[in-house]
Amino acid sequence: MNNRIILAGIITFVLFLILRYTYDSPLFESFDENMQLLVGGNRFIGIFHYLGEMKFIIFITLVLLLWLWLKLHHYRGMLLVILTIPMGFLLNQLVKRWVERPRPEIENQLKTFSFPSGHAMLGILYLLTIAYLLSERTHDEKKKWWYWIGAILIAFFVGLSRVAESRHFATDVIAGWCLGITWLCICIYWYKHKEKGHTGMKR
């Protein structure tokens, strides 16, 4: 399990770095243009942006923390949530200020930087964190699969909604997914390591 987490983290981080340094290449500029033509203005996809809004994510994070605290007394799980979501947001903001990529040129565009997409990164972080924590609570493999499939599908559309609404380039969204998964892998690796240590102490 740990080896797969490390491998996934390395692969997604490499992909993120490739996008970071080549998003303005002719290849990726053409890709961004084609993706905009493909999904731009799609109202159905655009609806999903609400699931990536900061107010909604804050609400979900608070509910998740309260559930872990009051219902499960799962304090290590609470730390995982704090690491993945609030710290993931800070990481996203730092990287945006580092890269300083302008957003697509449209009327009434947002003033913040574009790379990587916050909706894509935070969407994948909070949704996959929920899927991970729910998967821990069951031994039913089918349920686990449904948790992960549902989380990935929703995160996919949340990210894609930013292209549909011309708030981000497609490369911003993919970079957000990649960096989100990288950060999640780091956090889960820490979480699993602490779990082993905690089990060892009990013995």
Tens of pLDDT, residue by residue over 43-55, are 999 999 999 999 9
**What CA–CA distance (Å, rounded) separates 73 from 65?**
10
pLDDT-based confidence at residue 108 (cuts at 50, 70, 90): confident
Question: Which structure tokens are listed for 16?
Answer: 């993120």
The predicted model gives 65-85 an average pLDDT of 94
Task: Work out the mean pLDDT of the chain and round it to a whole number.
Answer: 92
The predicted model gives 27-38 an average pLDDT of 96
Q: Are 166 and 106 in contact (CB under 8 A)?
A: yes
Q: What is the dihedral of CA 83, 84, 85, 88, to 10 degrees?
A: 90
Q: Are 187 and 83 in contact (CB under 8 A)?
A: yes
- Is the pTM for the entire model greater than 0.85? yes
The predicted model gives 2-6 an average pLDDT of 86
Cα atoms found within 13 Å of the Cα of residue 200, Cβ hemisphere only: 6
pLDDT confidence of residue 202: 45
pLDDT confidence of residue 193: 79
Count of C-beta atoms within a 10 Å radius of residue 166: 18
* Ramachandran assignment for 164, one of left (phi > 0), alpha (psi -120 to 50 degrees), beta (any other): alpha
The predicted model gives 138-166 an average pLDDT of 95
pLDDT-based confidence at residue 195 (cuts at 50, 70, 90): low
Return the percentage of the chain with pLDDT > 70, whole number.
95
pLDDT-based confidence at residue 196 (cuts at 50, 70, 90): low
Identity of residue 51: L
